[in-house]
Amino acid sequence: MKQKTRYNVRLAARRGVTVRAGGEADLPAFYRLMTETAERDEFGIHTRAYYEAAHHLFVPDHGRLLLAEYEGQLLAALVVFAFGGGAVYMYGASSDEQRNLMPTYLLQWEAMRWARERGCHTYDLWGVPDEDEPTLEATFTGRSDGLWGVYRFKRGFGGRLVRTAGAWDLVYAPLRYRLYELAVRALRGRLPA
């Protein structure tokens, strides 16, 4: 970990941020936080039913909902899954409130500790800008659009950049899929840059 990230993990704990495992009763609050984060950072999220189904299918055997709180106030949350020897950080959200307490740092650290306790030897932070590593390192301090802020946060935890084949769509209904693609392009053309 970078020194500043270690400092922020300890700072959150010193200032009274706590992390606990969430349950089914916490899903509405998690979804409200996901909605807040999506609006602030301009990205799409799944429906509440999607997150509820994921929780029902994977938690507690292969996943965990973790919540970072300060004096009873939910500040950040994440969902992590573990299979075999690896864990993957899948969904994360944070409030606009009390950001100076660095709850996301402690939250990620606790997710990594949970993964280690399960015997995982890798923790995938999943998702950075689609650039080569020299460009990422040369550019991240001057960019905040897209995933650049996410990269700045994730790089603090150390590790290495691993590229995979990425996500692919398996198309069952080609005509409907083509209409979907056209609709997405049309929406992107209307959205502000």
- pLDDT value at residue 193: 47
Per-residue pLDDT of the chain (193 residues; tens, 9 = 90+): 999 999 999 999 999 999 999 999 999 999 999 999 988 887 889 999 999 999 999 988 999 999 999 999 999 999 999 999 999 999 999 999 999 999 999 999 999 999 999 999 999 998 887 888 888 888 888 887 777 778 888 888 888 888 887 778 899 999 999 999 999 888 877 655 4
- pLDDT value at residue 133: 84
Residue 100 has which token pair?
């100076």
- Identity of the residue numbered 149: G
| Strand-pair partners of 21 | 66
Note whether 55 and 63 are within 8 A (CB).
yes
Domains of the chain: 3-126 (3.40.630.30)
Instruction: Indicate the length of the chain as a whole number.
Output: 193
What is the H or E stretch that residue 100 is in?
A: none
CA distances from residue 132 to 136, 137, 138, 149, 162 in whole angstroms, order as listed: 6, 9, 10, 16, 10
